[in-house]
Amino acid sequence: MTTTGNTSSPASGTATRLRRRWPIWLFRITITAAAILAFNQAVFAGQFLSGTYPALRLHRDMANYTVAAIAASIITAILWRRAGAGPRWPLPAAVALFALTALQTFLGYRLVLAVHIPLGVTVILLLVALTAAAWRPTR
C-alpha cells in the first residue's frame, strides 16, 4: 500500500490518479464515531447534571474513547491522503481536534468549566463539520 497521491502518474492528471475507496471509508467511520462520542459527552453531561452519577463515569470514560477515535482519525486521514489520494485538510484538522480534545479532557479533570463547556461545544461543532465534509460525495 505504498502507492500515494504523490507517485500517481503526472501525465494523466487528477482524474486518473489512483483512488482507492477503502481509505475514505475508514476516515468516515473513525470521524463519525468521534463526532457521535463527542456529542454524547453533552448527553452525559446533561445526565450527570440531573443527578445520575454513573453518567459522570461515562463522561470520563467516553472522554478517553473520544480522544482515541480522533487519534484513529489522524491515522485514517493519513491513509486517505496517501493511499486514497484524498484531500489535504483531514490530517491537520484531525491533529488540531486531537489537541483540542486532549485539552478538553484536562480541563474537565481540573474542573475549569468556564472553558470546558464552551470548548466542548466547539469540539462537537468542529467534529460534526468534519464528519459532514468527509461524507461529501467524491467524484
Partner 1 sequence: MSPINRRTALGIAGAAITAAAGIGIPFVSGLTGARSTGKLLPSRTPIPPAFRRRLTIPPVLRPSRSDTTTDYYDITQTVARAGILPGPATELWTYNGSFPGPTIRSTRGRTVKVRYTNNLPVPTVVHLHGGRTPPDSDGYPIDYVYPTDMSYYALHHNPQQMTSDHGRMTMTGGDTREGRRTHVFPLDQRAATLWYHDHRMDFTGPSVWRGLAGFHLHHDAEEASLRLPDGDLDLPLMITDRSLDSDGSLLYPSLDPTLVNRPGVRGDHVAGVLGDVMLVNGTPWPVMTARRGTYRLRFLNACNARRLSLRLDPPPPNGIAQIGTDAGLLAEPVRHDHLELAPAQRLDVLIDFSGYAPGTRITLVNDFDTTAMGQVMRFVVDDGRPEPFKIPSRLSTTPPLRPEDAVVTRKFDFRAGDVDDHDGWLVSHAPFSPDTIAARVRLGTTEIWQLNADFHHPVHLHLSPFQVIARGSEGPGPYDAGWKDTIDLRPGEQAKILIHFDGYPGKYVFHCHNLEHEDMAMMANFIAT
The residues that touch partner 1, with contacts defined as CB under 8 A, are 21, 25, 28, 32, 35-37, 39-40, 43-44, 46-58, 109-111, 131, 135, 137-138
In degrees rounded to 5, what are phi and psi of residue 117? -75, -50
Residue 56 found at the interface with ligand HEM (CB under 6 A): yes
Crossing angle between the packed helical segments 113-135 and 22-48, to the nearest 10 degrees: 150
Residue 85 site contact among partner 1, ligand HEM, none (CB < 5 to 8 Å, cut-off depends on kind):
none
Closest distance between partner 1 and the C-beta of residue 138, in Å?
7
Q: Which residues contact 138 (CB under 8 A, 6 or more apart)?
A: 19, 24
The binder of 58, among ligand HEM, partner 1, none, by C-beta within 5 to 8 A per type, is: partner 1
C-alpha cell, 38: 463527542
Cβ distance to partner 1 smaller for residue 99 or 129: 129
Q: Interior CA angle at 86 toward 70 and 104, to 5°?
A: 20
